[in-house]
Structure 1
């Protein structure tokens, strides 16, 4: 297991890449005949993007992302940990994108890729 989000486990076979974006809440204010001033407007935020694929005919079945959609429909944040037990905080599912390709005559797909955007919930 690479990551666990609220009980949904991302395996090493599924995860193609993880990117972490951290903003530190620094804003600027333009000043007349002077350089802009920088100041801390807020405490910042974190966003995690996960790129991956499922393996429909190698154990993931056609419904591998079903639990992930259920978590997203819950519209709340969930604990995010990695395989070593490191706790990253609570994250909410902001967006899921998926692409299915190479179909059988009955409509089943052989390949499925997905991307997921998570946003940190500091109050959760």
Structure 2
């Protein structure tokens, strides 16, 4: 069985510089990711999504729970096929973000190889 994957741009929203840089390093190893763009706030992210729909969007701490929730809702409303992954500092955020449309919520700091597998699974065409 051959698995086909979506290809395209990954968008990283919020996050500290070291966290973003680590994620960029991981994403460059995934052949389906053709471009990586970062946004420091939802306004920047919305402009990017209007120009080009990402296949993958990462919502990173230390942004507030409300910002992550609103960002997920805005991205999903403009681009329902975009897969959203949120990395969180607090497990209490999980249900709120899943209800907002985030496809996968993981605690910040979980193993990179696990994140790689999550990304592959989300990008697999059904």
Give the TM-score normalised by the residue count of structure 1: 0.29
Of Structure 1 and Structure 2, the greater strand share is in 1
Structure with larger Rg = 1
Of Structure 1 and Structure 2, the greater helix share is in 2
Give the TM-score normalised by the residue count of structure 2: 0.29
